[in-house]
Amino acid sequence: MTRAEDIAANLFAVNERVDMALIAARRSSLTLRLLAVSKTVVPEDIAAALGAGQLDFAENYGQEFRDKREAVAKLVAAMPGLPSPRWHFIGPLQTNKVKYVAGKVALIHTVSSPEILAEIERKAVALGVIQECLVQVNVAGETQKSGVAPADLPATLDRFASLAHLRCTGLMVIPPYDEDPELSRPHFAALRQLRDEHRKRIRTHVVLDNLSMGMSHDLEVAIAEGATIIRVGTAIFGART
């Protein structure tokens, strides 16, 4: 098998897992978006996944995304019929890196502080765009991870009212990693409960439709708990180098 054939086969297998999980959860395929996490993946492999039907890709680092976005655009331009990717940003975001992603991705998944919100708004104003975002919630209270504490989520969502160029479309979580996917379930359920609770209050520029949660090893559990976006890297591209 060529590398492109490997990626196509992996993507087919992931989509089969997704379909089975959706059936088990009695959900429509229209309620879920699969992100191919392309951190450290070369542009040619992204083009192979595009050729196999994958449209949404996610990057973790601002400068890597900047360079890769340009490289993939050149490959797409040179290959008639290959669609352009829809990019997402899922990594920790610092204020000095916002310039690499604001206005260039469909969705920023990792908003976690007032300073980040203000900087994204500033860049979006300069570009004349509306930037969609998710608020990352640190459900488990891990000190080494980004994200707002559940208790601080109301104030964070309230901030969007004063940010005319930002829209919050949901919440995101990265639970503590464990090989047993069932141990992720309480964290996914907690995020869903937070989303459902805060959906009851009408806020300007906030519509909590999305739950970004679940990766290669626990996507079935995430889907069962209501994920609308799953982030899958190694199951599609193999182990990262």
Residue written as token pair 């609770």: 197
pLDDT at 7: 98
Q: What is the dihedral of CA 235, 32, 161, 195, to 10 degrees?
A: -90
pLDDT at 125: 98
Q: What is the CATH number of domain 3-237?
A: 3.20.20.10
For residues 89 and 98, what is the distance between their CA atoms, to the nearest angstrom? Answer: 10
Dihedrals phi, psi of 96, to nearest 5 degrees: -80, -5
Instruction: Give the Cβ contact number of residue 195 at 10 Å.
Output: 19
Instruction: Tell whether the model's pLDDT for residue 241 goes beyond 80.
Output: no
pLDDT tens digits for range 110-128: 999 999 999 999 999 999 9
What is the rounded average pLDDT of the residues 19-41? 97
pLDDT at 145: 80
Contacts of 45 (CB under 8 A, 6+ apart): 3, 4, 7, 38, 237
Instruction: Give the Cβ contact number of residue 94 at 10 Å.
Output: 13
- Cα angle 159-145-17, degrees, rounded to a multiple of 5: 95
Every domain of the chain and the residues it spans:
3-237
- Cβ contact 37:217 at 8 Å: no
pLDDT tens digits for range 212-229: 999 999 999 999 999 999
